[in-house]
Amino acid sequence: MEIVKTQNLKILKYILLIFLGSILLTVSSKIKIPFYPVPMTMQTFVVLFLGMSFGYKIGLAAVSLYLFEGIIGLPVFSNSPEKGIGLIYFTGPTMGYLIGFLFATFLAGYFNFKENILINFIKLLFSVSIIYIFGIIWLGNLIGWDKPIFQLGVTPFLLAELFKISILTLLAKNIFKLRRFI
């Protein structure tokens, strides 16, 4: 009986963490911070944070829930409802980046952040790069490869990503320690 109760509490804790992660990702998508050359959201920061702190399984579940919420029409994405909602918004120019969130969360959750600061920075840089790789592949297919895809889909965000990765790198060992409570 005690084992069943413990398992039920563990499942409840995981469900709460998944919902909390989805809410955190939604909030991070709505807050726009003035930055050069484009306003910055904290979505990629939270995507990596979820993987680092929750591990890849719960992190992936939280990001998957967030994407599902957006696909079914909840206004969780960065420019929704202003620029549309649901599947129409999801399959727009940002779909590759949104799918990249899953892979970045997995990598950030899979990596061990007990290393030195330079190694942690490289791991986070690699993780966030996956978002942009998926993003520009989708963007190129959507608007055409004859357009300056890298300048449209990556360059405006480089400074903001460097800033977010730097913060995560400095906090990496402490964020990684949160896993022991999960």
70: Cα within 13 Å, side-chain hemisphere? 28
pLDDT tens readout for residues 35-81 = 776 778 999 999 999 999 999 999 999 999 999 999 999 999 998 88
Confidence of residue 82 (pLDDT cuts 50, 70, 90): confident
Give the model's confidence band at 84: pLDDT under 50 very low, under 70 low, under 90 confident, else very high.
confident
Buried b (16+ CB within 10 A) or exposed e, 5-18: eeeeeeeeebeebb
3-state DSSP assignment of residue 125: helix
- The burial class, CB within 10 Å (0-12 / 13-18 / 19+), for 181 is exposed
pTM of the predicted protein model? 0.93
What is the fold, at CATH topology level, of the domain defined by 2-181?
Answer: Arp2/3 complex 21 kDa subunit ARPC3 (1.10.1760)
The contacts of residue 151 (CB under 8 Å, 6+ apart) are none
Task: Please tell me what DSSP assigns to residue 1.
Answer: -
Q: Domain limits of the chain? A: 2-181
Residue with tokens 């592949």: 137
